[in-house]
Amino acid sequence: MDRIRITGGNQLNGIIPISGAKNAALPLMIASLLTSDTLTLENVPHLADVEQLIRILGNHGVDIAVNGRRESQGEGYSRTVHFTCRTIVDTTAPYELVSKMRASFWVIGPLLARDGKARVSLPGGCAIGTRPVDLFIEGLEALGATMEIDSGYINATAPSGGLIGATYTFPKVSVGATHVMLMAASLARGTTVIHNAAREPEVVDLAQCLTAMGAKIEGAGTSTITIEGVTSLSGARHRVLPDRIETGTYAMAVAMTGGDVLLEGTRASLLENALDTLKLAGATITETETGLRVVRNGNGIHPVDVVTEPFPGFPTDLQAQFMALMTRAQGVSHITETIFENRFMHVQELARLGAKISLSGQMARIEGVSRLKGAPVMATDLRASVSLVIAGLVAEGETVVSRVYHLDRGFERLEEKLNRCGAQVERVSD
């Protein structure tokens, strides 16, 4: 099993290209089930989760062709991928596939909308919380679907004439459930109005792609989205938006180590709250024609309190990385996690590096220390794993992060990107 070995102490200086967003690419890929034409997606990141979803879509009948890699890039950088589903050959998403990646549950919406039926395994829990599927079930039931749970599967059936437009209010904001409702409602008869919809940029990106395919959607990016159903969708070409979580992660790495880095190919509007928080912590962030320039001089890191919230608030997916940054702040900071339970599992591993963190319910109190010291640590989930890398970049000596398969799910060429800016990060195999 691979590990990441980090020798701390180097500033970051240079250019880091930002990849396409995993959290946007996954629903966009699933949208290929909605049409018999080809959906071409540019800037698709090369990640374990993307490769797993390609296998899952193939099970439903999607043909995949990959091209578009530039000669100047090595194997593993973002690609152009063509998805063609002439016919849905299987409406069952089995447990052995869904259990490997929770987002694969989202195929239930397109399968139901296009083929009138779907049998999809319940995804179960995960390391950062239970994340039940009640909102998905209730939303699709509002569109007229019959949903029955049997032997760990949801058997979904649309009315004989297809899904029917309706007005539905989410009792809680859910990005995944908003994705599924957008896709399902695009082929429903009549008009669907979604209240309390997720406002994340990835939702907007999906809506823009669906619109290019012929869907009629208004209000994406606000809490109320209106979809006028159409009888069929066509193919389209769409570019996956830049990864705001990768952007924020590398910005925090620069704030942690000091230095001057251009995050190429991204934009500030995707994560303004997180960038404002980083500025309070002492980083200088400037938007340029080609990306975001992040600089931190030697004045140290200021403590900042944050509360995770749905977009446009501070992202839960940057909470662990920001906690790593705050371990070196000159004072006490607090982080309150409101999105997921059990998302403080990285605390014990940061403590192995010398961090001083105490927990009270969903709040963490971080007392900044003057130095961290390298040690063996273990990743518990995707975002926690990269928080340990950020801490290791400034820890004295050597930090070895185990279970880095978590990193491969969401960060494209992490060690290569960091090393190009002066870090000492090495992947080692047992």
Q: Which CATH class is domain 2-15+242-429?
A: alpha beta
Q: What is the pLDDT at residue 100?
A: 82
Which residue in 141, 144, 136 sits closest to 190, CA to CA? Answer: 144
Sort 89 into a burial class: Cβ within 10 Å, 0-12 / 13-18 / 19+. Answer: exposed
Tokens 């992660």 appear where?
249
Q: Residue 238: helix, strand or coil by DSSP?
A: strand
Which runs of consecutive H residues, i.e. helices, occur in 31-154?
A: 48-60, 95-98, 108-115, 134-142
Q: Are 197 and 178 in contact (CB under 8 A)?
A: yes
Going from N- to C-terminal start, the domains of the chain cover 2-15+242-429, 25-239
Q: Is 317 annotated as a binding residue?
A: yes
pLDDT per residue as tens digits for the range 377-429? 998 887 788 999 999 999 999 999 998 888 888 899 999 999 999 999 999 98
**pTM confidence score:** 0.94
The one-letter amino acid code at 108 reads I
Separation between Cα atoms, residue 59 and residue 71, nearest integer Å: 31
Tokens 């599992």 appear where?
345
Q: Residue 263: helix, strand or coil by DSSP?
A: strand
CATH of 25-239, one of 3.60.20.10, 3.40.190.10, 3.65.10.10, 3.40.47.10: 3.65.10.10
Q: Are 186 and 210 in contact (CB under 8 A)?
A: yes
Note whether 2-15+242-429 and 25-239 share their fold. Answer: yes
Q: How far is CA 220 from CA 83, 236, 354, 375, in A?
A: 24, 19, 44, 45
Separation between Cα atoms, residue 292 and residue 267, nearest integer Å: 6
Q: Are 417 and 250 in contact (CB under 8 A)?
A: yes
Q: Is 174 annotated as a binding residue?
A: yes
Q: What is the pLDDT at residue 129?
A: 42
Q: What is the pLDDT at residue 98?
A: 87
Q: Are 342 and 131 in contact (CB under 8 A)?
A: no
Q: Is 304 annotated as a binding residue?
A: no
Beta strands in 2-151 (DSSP E): 2-7, 12-17, 38-44, 63-67, 79-84, 92-93, 117-121, 146-150
pLDDT per residue as tens digits for the range 99-118? 888 889 999 999 999 999 99
Q: Is 428 annotated as a binding residue?
A: no
360 has which bridge partners?
363
Cα distance between the two ends of the chain: 6
Q: Is 332 annotated as a binding residue?
A: no
Query: Helix axis angle, 48-60 relative to 22-30, nearest 10°?
Result: 0
Given 85, 126, 209, 421, which residue is catalytic?
126
Q: Which helix (H) or strand (E) holds 177?
A: helix 175-186
| Phi-psi map region of 8: left, alpha, beta (phi>0 left; psi -120 to 50 alpha) | beta
What φ, ψ does residue 155 adopt, rounded to 5°?
-95, 110
Q: Is 117 annotated as a binding residue?
A: no
Identify the sign of the CA torsion 51, 55, 58, 60. negative
Q: What is the pLDDT at residue 76?
A: 46
Q: Is 33 annotated as a binding residue?
A: no
Q: Is 241 annotated as a binding residue?
A: no
Residue 421 appears among annotated catalytic residues = no
Positions of the chain with pLDDT under 50: 70-76, 125-130
Compute, in degrees rounded to 10, the torsion defined by CA atoms 325, 330, 333, 339: -10
